[in-house]
Structure 1
Amino acid sequence: MELTEQYLLPISQQRAWEALNDTAVLRAVIPGCETIEADGEHAYALSMRAAVGPVKAQFKGRMLLTDIDAPHSYTVTFEGQGGAAGFAKGSARVTLEADGESSTKLGYTANAQVGGKLAQIGSRLVDGAARKIAGEFFKRFTAHMTDATQANEAVDEAVDETVDEAPTAEHAPSGKGHKSWKAWISKS
Structure 2
Amino acid sequence: MAVEMNGSVDLGAPPEVVWKKLNDPETLKSCIPGCETLELDGANAFVAAAVLKIGPMKAKFKGRVELSDLDPPHGYRISGEGQGGIAGYAKGGAVVRLTPLGAESTTLSYEVTANVGGKIAQLGARLLDSVAKKYADQFFASFAATMPSIEPHVS
TM-score class, shorter? over 0.9
Structure 1 partner of 2:52: 50
TM-score by length of 2: 0.93
- Once residues 43 and 135 of structure 2 are traced to their aligned partners in structure 1, the CA distance between those partners, rounded to angstroms, is 26
Query: TM-score with structure 1 length normalisation?
Result: 0.77
Aligned residues: 148
Matched, 1:134 2:141: no
Alpha-carbon deviations, 1:55-97, whole Å to 9, x = none?
A: 1101000000001001001000010000011000100000000
Shift of 1:41: 2.2
Higher helix share: 1
Give unmatched runs, 5+ long, in structure 2: 151-155
Identity rate, percent: 46
| TM superposition shift of 1:117 | 0.6
Per the alignment, residue 4 of structure 1 pairs with 6
AA partner of residue 37 (structure 2): T
Q: What do you get for the CA RMSD once the two structures are aligned?
A: 1.1
Q: What's the CA shift string for 1:24-60, capped at 9, x where partnerless?
A: 1001111111110111220110000111111110100
Following TM superposition, by how much is the alpha carbon of 1:145 offset from its aligned partner in structure 2, in angstroms?
2.1
SS at match of 2:130: helix
- Runs of 4 or more off by more than 2 Å in structure 1? none
Q: Secondary structure at the match of 1:145?
A: coil
2:81 is aligned, of 68, 74, 79, to 79
Q: Hey, what's the Cα distance between the residues in 2 that align with 1:43 and 1:31?
A: 19
Residue of structure 2 aligned with 1:39, choices 33, 38, 41? 41
